[in-house]
Each structure stands twice: as C-alpha cells, then as structure tokens.
Chains A and B, each alone.
Chain A
C-alpha cells in the first residue's frame, strides 16, 4: 500500500479517514491542530464528505462526536490535553452511556509545556473514566492504533482514548496505509436507558462499565502493542508510549543489556508485567508524563524495587529524552560540548504590525493614570503582552478566565477591572462569563482583541468572525457601550479616549479592538493568487 512521510498528527488524520469516520470534531490546540487540518485539506476526505469544520470549543466538539456515534457512524474528536478539561463533563459521562458508532478521542499532551499552561497527563483521565487508553510510540503505530481504536470502540461499545504527545505529533516518519473501510450506515442507538442518565439508569450503566473492565484488561494482556521485547541484563525497563523509543535508542547505540517491556495499551496488563518483572529485582518505569503507574505498581508487586520519576532516577517533570533514559540506566553517552555562555534565549514576540501591539500601547498609556493597573488576560497571541516591551497583562490562566476573573475582581471592588480576550477565546468560553457580568451589572471593561482568526495555533477560522458585536448585544450588553476601534497608531488618541471613557462607565462595556492578523492576511492573499 501507499507509503507517506507524515507527522504523527497527520497519521492520526489519515488513519481516521481510512477507518471510515463520517466526521471529525475539534477546536484547535497545539499539538493537536494538524490532525483536523490534515482531514480538512485531504481530497479523499472531501470526496467522502467527511465533516471537518472547527467547533466553538472542545465540549461542543465532544458532544457532537458523541451524537454522531449515537447515530451509528464513526467519529473522531481531537484536542490538546487542557481541552479535555473543558470537555470533561461530556467525557466522563460518555463512559457511562457508552457509544454506538466507533468513537475515538485523540488527546495530544504537551509534556515540558512547549506551548501550554500545564503538563497534565491524559492517561490519568482514562483511569478516572475507566476507559481504555492507547499510547502509540511512533507514527506507524499511531496509524495502526487509531484504526484499532475504532474497531475496539465498536466491539466494547465504549469511547477509546488515544494519547499522543508533542514529540510524536510534531515528528515525521514513514507511514504505510492499510485498506480503507467504508463509512457506517445511519443506525441510531435504540436502547434509551443507555443514553438517559437518570440515576436509576446511570447506576445500571456504571455497573456495566465496571463489569467491562475485565474485558479491557484481557484485551491489554493479549495486545501485540504490549510486548516483552527483551529480557537481557539485570534491570528491566517498563517503557510506556514514546519512552520505548528512547530505551531502544540507547540499546541500539550502546549495545547495552537491559530488559524492555513495551506498553502502549491500558489498563496495564498485570500478568504480562508479572512475567517480565519476575526476572528482575529492579525495574525502571519510564512514563512520558506523570508517574501514574510507578506509583501503583509497588502495591501489586511488593517484592520488586521500582525506580522512576518518584525516586529521582528520572526527572520529576518535563518530557523524557534519550539522555535522561541513558542516565537512569547508568549508560555513558560520552563527552559532549559544553553550552556556550554567550547564547541568550530568543523568546517569541508579537509580529510587526500586529494589532495586539497597538492595543497594549494604548492600555499602558491609559493605565499610567490609575493606581490599580491590573489587566486580566487570556490565552492567545496576545498573551505575549506579558513580555517586554509591554508588560501589560496580569493574568493568563485558562481559556475564558479573563472575563470571569475581571468580574470577580470587580465584585471585590477592584477598579479598573479590565479583561483582554481574543475573538476565538471569547466564543470558546468567554460568552457565558459575560452573561454573568451583565446579570450582575458589573463595573467592568471587556476588550475583545479581534483579529478575525485563531492566530496562536496557526490561523484557523474563528467561530465568531463578523458576529462579535451582535453576540455581545444578544447577551445583553447595552448597545451604547459596545465600541469598535481600529488599533493603529493613527487612531491612538481617539482609542485611548474611548477606552478611558468606557473604563469610567459604571456598567459592563465591551470594546472590540478589530484588525486582521497580519499572518492571516498574508496567507489569504497567497491563497487568492492560487
């Protein structure tokens, strides 16, 4: 079959298309964005009429995928790790309903926080919900396991979680395709009690979920991706997901003897683990993420010494790499050059000509006159307003939190209470907070820095483009206090005057600071040329 050089993320997209999905649902988020983009740009997906537009947030994505599964068709939902927090209510409860058409939840974690606020480990959510988790170690295995995940989902009638990480998602390797499957026919779920989670039904369904755990364990025990690869040496490595690559790299490079048990499917296959660790007194548990299983294994196998992130043999946080694994196995990789002392960090910054720049310049000039200079902000390119030369913003916590934190601070008596939020973040989860503020008649100023795109993640369509003012009006903001400004040097005085006026207005005001993202504008121009 065809061979292609694909990013891990693209391998997910291709596998889902070949598995016969009828739709992908996603909100962008590094390192998961390229999955949906691959499907959006795939001519095969277009031919097969696979639904692939961006959704407003991860919760809407999740529920729509569940609806497609209810209708009997296969659906993929993807997001970055923190996106699952937003979709968590739907996720946890979909474990209780189960699914009809195959449903795969692809979550891309970001250990080391290359572009995230935390490094939460999605495998924990799998355990939390009692759902199976697949954790591929390379791009080909991503393809295979996403395909397998859809089959397994239909077989067990459960959504299946597939976890990848930044390294895998953003690394290319050759992937070989398999036969394509046709899409499922419309075949809606019939048993209402599965889907109506009234307490009486929920209790029965939950018991059923618990009774499926033995089946999931059996599937893990017999899975070919959980395999004892090597039984040499006097230390064994339980290598989870991508950690397997690093262990094998060290083995290949230094011909070092140590045992390797590769794990790519959870719940953990305890019988297989037992037969592996019986030959060793010491085991290194290499997990790309939290030491979830390192913490649990000693209770199952009290006679064995387990080493890993909790014992300090591996770093407590951050992503793994070959050197870290080598160090933990006392393998010397030889001398290396020392880092140069004159090398300085080169952090990212807002593009030249970006409208967010002008907004921050305006805000800095206005705030000079106030004793309280707090700007509650949010996640997007504009978070770079935290860095010099601006240093404008005071917070960035989770998507939508700018509006609600400004609201809470206003409740506490803070003035000015200013929120700066991007257009995509506003429609993701800022709108509901605005409704709270309107209902409480808060004295706050919400600035929506509207560049008509989701710029941070590479310029995806933004759900509210062209509708922001109408949305705010609909939520109940007084029309006279919804102001649209063009952030540009030539409007500096005018903009400052308006923003100041609205800060002083004793109610909810919304300022839409509107100029297209420079990068998106360039991209559009290029596309028009084609």
Chain B
C-alpha cells in the first residue's frame, strides 16, 4: 500500500490542518508517513502546498515525484489545477468549489472548471456544507471527508484522528468537525 497526495490551497485556508489529520490517521493505521509542507514567505495569501506520502514500507523522498500523486486535495479550484503535473494519469482531484480570488488576473471560472473536468474530479461546495454544520471553519474537514475514500485508510480512523486533533478545542468543535467530515464523505460517495 502506498498513497501520495498533494494538498493545495491558499495561505490561511487550513491545508496544514488537513495534512495533520491525515498524518494522525495514517499513524493510527500503522503506516509510514512523510509530509513536506511550506512555511514562511508563501503564507501571506500566497499558494501553499503540502506533499503527503503514506505507505506500508519505508518512504525515501519527502517530495512526491512528478506524475506520481494519487490525488490532489485542494481548498480552492485554481490551486487544484496548479499541481496537475504531479497527478498520476488516473489520479483523482478533490477540490472545494469556491474560488479564492486575491489576485487581479484570476482565470475565468468557466475555463477553470472545464479544465478540471479533463481529470477524474470531485468538486464539492465545501463552504455550504460547512456552514450547514455551523461554521465556515469546518470547510477543510468537509474537503477531507470528500477525499477520504481515496486514501486507503479506514473511515473510522479519520473520526478518531479528528477527535485527537481538535481535542483541546472541546467536544462541540470535535463533533461539528466529524459531522462536517461525514457530509463531505457522503457527497463524495454519491458522486
């Protein structure tokens, strides 16, 4: 077993939270993990990415070789498209639907989504589902839920990982995030 995924988004969108929860779930599943992330300059509204690699055997490179990612998990559609050279030929894109526009020449949405359609992709209105669960802050857990079926880690371990990750913030935050995760998961299974 061996999964490579790129997590992509804009600084401040919580991609490191998604990465951290996957890390915890993978360790609970007794897998090797490597996770490279971006700190520093790119965090002020710039593009941010994390490479996660999970495997049942030793992992060497911290970076995913190009063309070897099983999935791209993105909190924003332009950022999803940015990393397609990393995606395997039959790889999967899971992206939030809502663009994050903080630059002048952001591409036309129609073009963006039509390009994403060239790949196997699941585009989820994560913000809406998060709001239905009570907070826009859960947007990234919705996206994680939508990506979960492609990660080869039992779904129950994600719930445990979410509980672990948010434990310090109290029971309510934990249950909201689990519910948001489940909504993302359900959406993904339907589509």
Binding site for B on A (CB under 8 A): 5, 30-31, 33-34, 114-115, 138, 167-168, 170-174, 242, 244-246, 248-250, 252-253, 321-323, 326, 333-340, 342-351, 381, 384, 456-458
Between-chain CB contacts (< 8 Å), 16 pairs = A5-B23, A114-B38, A167-B63, A170-B38, A172-B34, A172-B36, A173-B32, A244-B60, A249-B65, A322-B65, A338-B85, A342-B112, A346-B103, A348-B42, A348-B44, A349-B102
Contact between A333 and B81, CB atoms less than 8 A apart: no
1/0 per residue B16-44: CB within 8 Å of A? 00000001000100001111111111111
Partner of B60, one of A248, A342, A343: A248
Task: Provide the residues of chain A in CB contact with B66, threshold 8 Å.
Answer: 322-323, 333, 336
Q: How far is the CA of A99 from the CA of B15 in the complex (A)?
A: 44
Q: How far is the CA of A171 from the CA of B85 in the complex (A)?
A: 21
Task: Provide the residues of chain B in CB contact with A456, threshold 8 Å.
Answer: 40-41
Contact between A172 and B85, CB atoms less than 8 A apart: no
Contact between B47 and A34, CB atoms less than 8 A apart: no
- B residues 85-131 with Cβ under 8 Å of A? 85-87, 89, 102-103, 105-108, 111-112, 115, 119
Contact between B37 and A339, CB atoms less than 8 A apart: no
Output the nearest chain A residue to B31 by Cβ-Cβ distance: A174
Given contacts A346-B103, A457-B40, is CB(A334)–CB(B112) below 8 Å?
no
Task: Provide the residues of chain A in CB contact with B37, threshold 8 Å.
Answer: 170-172
Partner of B33, one of A33, A172, A349: A172
Output the nearest chain B residue to A323 by Cβ-Cβ distance: B66
Binding site for A on B (CB under 8 A): 10-11, 23, 27, 32-47, 51, 59-63, 65-68, 78-79, 81-82, 84-87, 89, 102-103, 105-108, 111-112, 115, 119
Contact between A253 and B81, CB atoms less than 8 A apart: no
Given contacts A174-B32, A339-B84, is CB(A30)–CB(B60) below 8 Å?
no
Contact between A168 and B38, CB atoms less than 8 A apart: no
Contact between B35 and A172, CB atoms less than 8 A apart: yes
Task: Provide the residues of chain B in CB contact with A384, threshold 8 Å.
Answer: 44
Task: Provide the residues of chain A in CB contact with B79, threshold 8 Å.
Answer: 346
Contact between A245 and B61, CB atoms less than 8 A apart: yes
Task: Provide the residues of chain B in CB contact with A30, threshold 8 Å.
Answer: 39-41
Q: How far is the CA of A321 from the CA of B61 in the complex (A)?
A: 8
Contact between B85 and A336, CB atoms less than 8 A apart: yes
Contact between B39 and A170, CB atoms less than 8 A apart: yes
Give the one of A30, A168, A322 with max B CB within 10 A: A322
Q: Apart from A322-B61, A340-B115, what are 5 other A-B pairs with CB-CB below 8 Å?
A: A167-B62, A170-B39, A173-B62, A346-B10, A349-B45
Partner of B81, one of A167, A343, A457: A343
Give the one of A249, A253, A340, A384 with max B CB within 10 A: A340
Q: How far is the CA of A322 from the CA of B60 in the complex (A)?
A: 10
Contact between A245 and B62, CB atoms less than 8 A apart: yes
Contact between A321 and B84, CB atoms less than 8 A apart: no
Q: How far is the CA of A521 from the CA of B45 in the complex (A)?
A: 18
Q: How far is the CA of A333 from the CA of B65 in the complex (A)?
A: 8
Task: Provide the residues of chain A in CB contact with B41, threshold 8 Å.
Answer: 30, 114-115, 348, 456
Given contacts A174-B27, A174-B33, A349-B45, is CB(A344)–CB(B85) below 8 Å?
no
Q: How far is the CA of A349 from the CA of B100 in the complex (A)?
A: 14
Task: Provide the residues of chain B in CB contact with A349, threshold 8 Å.
Answer: 44-46, 102
Within the complex, the shortest CB–CB distance from B23 to chain A, in Å, comes to 6
Q: How far is the CA of A172 from the CA of B37 in the complex (A)?
A: 8
Within the complex, the shortest CB–CB distance from A248 to chain B, in Å, comes to 4
Given contacts A252-B60, A349-B102, is CB(A343)–CB(B107) below 8 Å?
yes
